[in-house]
Structures are given as C-alpha cells and as structure tokens.
Amino acid sequence: MTPAAQDQKLKGKETISEQNNNHEVSVKYRVTVVGSGNWGSVASKLIASNTLKLTSFHDEVRMWVYEEILATGEKLTDVINQTNENVKYLPGIKLGKNVIADPDLEHSVKDANMLVFVTPHQFMEGICKRLVGKIKGDVKALSLIKGMEVKMEGPCMISTLISEQLGVNCCVLMGANIANEIAVEKFSEATVGYREDKEIAQKWVQLFSTPYFLVSAVQDVEGVELCGTLKNVVAIAAGLVDGLEMGNNTKAAVMRIGLREMKAFSKLMFSSVKDSTFFESCGVADLITTCLGGRNRKVAEAFARSGGKRSFDELEAEMLQGQKLQGVSTAREVYELLSQRGWQELFPLFTSVHEICIGRLSPSAIVEYSEHTPNFSLVEGSAQLI
C-alpha cells in the first residue's frame, strides 16, 4: 500500500473513532523533531516531505535547535528559518519550507503528538527531565538515538529512558543511515522497532517512508536498538583489521563474528529479541555501512597503524574535531556487563575490542580466537542463543 493510501485508511479509522466520541473533527498529528544535528536535520527533511503529502499530519514540522551563534553573528535558528537550510550541520540541503526551527525546547514540543528524539545520547536524560509535564498526554515518541546507559541490572536503552521518564510509548528507528547520503536522496532502508502497538509503528513508517527511503517495522524494540548501539564495537574491530591490512576475508570474518556476538548479547540481555531482526536494515545492513565507512572504523584503523602506540583519546582528539567515539565507550560498557556476569569468554570479539582499546592487548589480538564457537550452554536458559 502506498503511504498515501495507508494514510487515507488510517484517517478513515480515526474519523470514525472520533465520531463515536461525538466529535466530528479528524485527528491531525503534529510532529516535533527534538534535535537538529546532521541526522536530525535529514530526519526533519524526510518527515517534512511526507507531512505535506499526507492528510493525517499537520504540514508544519517543528525542529528543536540548540541555539548557536554563527560566525556571522546570526542565530542558527534564524538562518534555518530564513534559508530552509541547517547551514551548520547539513549545508546545501533544503529541509522544506514547513520545517520551523525553534530554540525553545519546551515550546517546541507543547503542541506535538509525535516526538522524534535525535540528540547525542548523553543529553537525553537532561532533556527528558525538562520535558516532564510539558508534553501532551497522548504523545507518541520515536528515538533515533544510538547508545545505552549501563546499570548493574543490565543495559538501560534510550527508548526505555524516554518511555519511563515521560510515560509515553516509544518506538525506535535504526538502519544503514549515513545522513549525508540520505540527504541527497540516495536509496536506503531503515527499521522501526516497536513493543506492542503495530498501528503506532505503521504511523512512524508512514512518516519516514519515501521512494528512496524504505522503512519496515519489526516487533522488537530492544533488538533494533541494541543493533544500533553494538555495531559501533564491531566497527572498531573492522577498523583494526583495516589498519593491520589483513584483507577482505578477515574483515568479513570479524564482521560476522561481531554480528553473532551482537545477536547473542542482545538475546542474553532481553529474551524477547528475535534472530530475524539481525537480517533487517538495523542489523546486517547498518553493520556493513558502519564497517565500510564511519568514524569508529577510521580511528581504529589509525590506532592499529600506530601499533597501538597512540591512544584512542589522542587519535579521537586529532581526527574527530571534538566528537567522541561511541564504539570505545560502548565496548567498555559491554565489557562491564560481561564481567559482572563472568561472560567474557563467550564474547571474545567484544572482550578483545575493549582490551585493545585500553592497551591491555595489542591490535593483532582482534583475530586471535582460541575457540570458534563459544559454549553458550553454560549460561542458563540460553540453548538457542547463537
């Protein structure tokens, strides 16, 4: 079904339900994008092209922008609203005239009933705290954020944080999504992960889908979200292989072992995680993209070329203009979770990546596996893990 036809169908349904409540107005969704970096801007562009076409959405897409003063002395929000371009984080791309940049977080969300979160993950806890009591009661949320918080009882996913702090339904959208490539409308795919409500997931699919951006939904929010998080650890491993000049065979093998560990780790953390999720865009495709390009791969390559003599911190500072490498911190967080449980041997790749990052092992340890298939039968109730 085309997005337009789907929209008509949903709209029909909503109108009927409204009539039952003796209201004859049709529900129109208002969308706010919380975040306006590279990916946030592209997400706003995708959404804005659809809200114009789909009758069940208000045309306007509000985008919360962390205000900055540009070198010209102008405010970033003013320039976005005048030019329809995020000149700082997505220069050269028109976002659509219906994208309205708003520097006031609370103001930007107050009328929205669909909230898309796309900020660096370390800011989310603070943003959620600010939004408590400031959003409408029936808001649906979607997280595009990769990363997790590690707690003793296991990983706390960003979608859970949003869901719990704001008391809202939160889906996730992940995939092989290099923002700049989607910005110029190159063909790509993405995966929406949802917990229970398939209709909400379909609404998100509809809001993002274009002929060049194919979105599908799977009922596995943790699986989709963990794919987006754990792939960065595998990208470090792939970068090490590149730096050691070990060739495509070895790189493919390391990526495969990484995918196996992503799957096993996710299933150990959340028994609801499905194998099939790893065949979706959020799984194998995002892993491929991240291990072919991407900054985790790149810095790890430089690290291996230096023979492990230069630290990740040093290379990061030199190569990434202040951005942080998510793979290194995720590897540490995963290692913490594994060592709390004594599971390091079950995850030789994840374990090695962390130990290489902190200098305990040399880069070449990335391909030194004494055992092929870790014995997961030692973990209770995990017969079908890999």
Q: Which residues are annotated as a binding site?
A: 35-40, 123, 146, 179, 295-296, 324, 326
Query: Could you say whether residue 232 binds its own copies (CB under 8 A)?
Result: no
DSSP 379: S
- Cα gap 142→2, rounded to integer Å: 22
- Cα gap 210→99, rounded to integer Å: 17
Query: Residue 108 or 209: which CB sits closer to its own copies?
Result: 209
Torsion of CA 295, 296, 298, 302, to 10 degrees: 130
Task: State the nearest-atom distance from the C-beta of 279 to its own copies, in Å.
Answer: 6
Query: Could you say whether residue 361 binds its own copies (CB under 8 A)?
Result: no
Q: Which stretch binds its own copies (CB under 8 A): 5-13, 45-53, 354-362, 364-372?
A: 364-372
Which one of 188, 206, 296, 351 is in contact with its own copies (CB under 8 A)? 188
293 to 332, contacts with its own copies by CB under 8 A? Answer: 293
* DSSP-derived 3-state class of residue 372: coil
231 in active site: yes
Task: State the nearest-atom distance from the C-beta of 286 to its own copies, in Å.
Answer: 7
Query: Could you say whether residue 372 binds its own copies (CB under 8 A)?
Result: yes
What residues does 192 pair with on adjacent strands? 173, 217
Which one of 219, 250, 311, 382 is in contact with its own copies (CB under 8 A)? 250
In the set 45, 231, 263, 298, the catalytic residue is 231
Q: Which stretch binds its own copies (CB under 8 A): 69-77, 182-190, 225-233, 345-353?
A: 182-190
- Cα gap 62→102, rounded to integer Å: 7
CA separation (Å) from 72 to 85, 101, 220? 15, 18, 46
Rg (CA), the chain: 22
Q: Which residue has the tokens 């700049």?
A: 180
Give the strand pairing for 213-218 and 148-151: unpaired
Q: DSSP letter string over 33-81?
A: EE--SHHHHHHHHHHHHHHHH-TTEEEEEEEE----B-TTS-BHHHHHH
Query: Could you say whether residue 365 binds its own copies (CB under 8 A)?
Result: no
Q: Which stretch binds its own copies (CB under 8 A): 112-120, 135-143, 178-186, 305-313?
A: 178-186
Q: Which residue has the tokens 């992503």?
A: 262
- Cα gap 7→203, rounded to integer Å: 8
Task: State the nearest-atom distance from the C-beta of 191 to its own copies, in Å.
Answer: 10
What are the residues binding its own copies (CB under 8 A)? 176-178, 181-182, 186-189, 212, 214-216, 246-257, 259-260, 263, 275-276, 278-281, 284-286, 288-289, 292-293, 367, 369, 372-373
> Catalytic amino acids?
231
